[in-house]
Amino acid sequence: MPLLVMKFGGTSVADLARIANAAEKVRREVERGYDVIVIVSAMAGKTNELVGWVEQTSPFFDAREYDAVVSSGENVTAGLMALRLQEMGIPARSWQGWQVPLLTTSAHSAARIEEIPRANIDRKFAEGMKVAVVAGFQGVSREGRITTLGRGGSDTTAVAFAAAFDAERCDIYTDVDGVYTTDPRIESKARKLDRIAYEEMLELASLGAKVLQTRSVELAMRYKVKLRVLSSFEDNDETSGTLVCAEEDIVESKVVAGVAYSRDEAKMTLISVADRPGIAAAIFGPLAEAGVNVDMIVQNIAEEGRTDVTFSCPVGQVKHAERAVMAAREKGTIQFSELVADTDVAKVSVVGIGMRSHAGVAARMFSALAAEGINIKVITTSEIKISVLIDRKYMELAVQALHDAFELDKAA
Ligand code: ADP
Ligand code: ASP
Ligand code: MG
State the greatest distance between any 2 C-alpha atoms of the chain, in Å, as a whole number: 77
Regarding whether 296 and 163 lie in a shared domain, the answer is no
CA distance 179 to 23: 23
Out of 158, 175, 192, pick the residue that ends a domain: 175
Read off the pLDDT of residues 261-313 as tens digits, 9 standing for 90 and up.
Answer: 999 999 999 999 999 999 999 999 999 999 899 999 999 898 999 999 999 99
Q: Name the closest ligand to CA 47.
A: 2
The domain that contains 29 carries what CATH number? 3.40.1160.10
pLDDT in the model for residue 315: 96
Q: In whole angstroms, give the CA distance from residue 298 to residue 306.
A: 14
**d(Cα 244, Cα 205) in Å, to the nearest integer?**
12
Q: Give this prediction's pTM.
A: 0.94
Whether the CB-CB separation of 253 and 200 falls below 8 Å is answered with: no
Q: Using CA atoms, how far apart are residues 357 and 254, in angstroms rounded to an integer?
A: 11
In this predicted model, what pLDDT tens digit does every residue of 167-182 receive, in sequence order? 999 999 999 999 999 9
* pLDDT above 80 (res 44): yes
Ligand 2 center to 137 CA (angstroms): 6
Q: Is 22 in the pocket of ligand 1 (CB under 6 A)?
A: no
- Ligand 1 atom closest to the Cα of residue 192 is 24
210 lines ligand 1 (CB under 6 A): yes
- Confidence (pLDDT) at 286: 97
Query: What are 229's strand-pairing partners?
Result: 172, 242
Specify the CATH number for the domain of residue 298: 3.30.2130.10
Ordered strands of the 35-40 beta sheet? 92-95, 131-135, 35-40, 3-8, 169-174, 227-231, 242-245, 195-197
CA distances from 295 to 119, 224, 267, 378, 388 (A): 40, 28, 10, 11, 11
Check pocket membership of 178 for ligand 2, CB cut-off 6 A. Answer: no
| Total domains present in the chain | 2
Q: How far apart are CA 234 and CA 175, in angstroms?
A: 9
Best substitution site from 7, 41, 210 to test ligand 2's pocket, by max atoms within 8 Å of Cβ? 41
Counting ligands in written order, the one closest to the CA of 174 is 1
- The one-letter amino acid code at 345 reads V
pLDDT number for residue 251? 83
What whole-number distance in Å separates Cα of residue 151 and Cα of residue 172?
Answer: 16
**pLDDT given for residue 121 in this prediction:** 98
In a domain, 241, yes or no: no
In a domain, 86, yes or no: yes
Model confidence pLDDT, tens digit, residues 78-120 = 999 999 999 999 999 999 999 999 999 999 999 999 999 999 9
Q: Which ligand is nearest to the CA of 157?
A: 2
pLDDT per residue over 377-410, tens digit each? Answer: 999 999 999 999 999 999 999 999 999 999 999 9
Average pLDDT for the chain: 96
Query: Is residue 21 pLDDT above 90, yes or no?
Result: yes
Instruction: Check if the beta carbon of residue 387 is closer than 8 Å to that of residue 379.
Output: yes
Nearest 10 degrees: CA dihedral of 269, 272, 274, 277? 50
Q: What are phi and psi of 116, to 5 degrees?
A: -130, 95
Domain of 363 in residue numbering reads as 259-405
Cα angle 264-362-390, degrees, rounded to a multiple of 5:
25
Give the separation between CA 123 and CA 194, rounded to whole angstroms.
Answer: 37
Residue 300 lies in a domain: yes
The mean pLDDT of 217-233, rounded to a whole number, is 97
Of 175, 200, 220, the last residue of a domain is 175
Q: What are the residues facing 37 on neighbouring strands? A: 5, 132
- How far is Cα 51 from Cα 139, in angstroms, rounded to an integer? 17
Mention every residue, 6+ apart, whose C-beta is less than 8 A from residue 281: none
Q: Are residues 264 and 170 part of one domain?
A: no
Same domain, 169 and 274: no
**End-of-domain residue from the set 116, 144, 175:** 175
* Residues 368, 139: Cα–Cα separation, whole Å: 44
The predicted structure's pLDDT at residue 232: 97
Any ligand 1 atom below 6 A from CB of 152: yes
For residue 1, name the pLDDT band (cuts at 50, 70, 90).
Answer: confident
CA of 247 to the centre of ligand 3 (A): 24
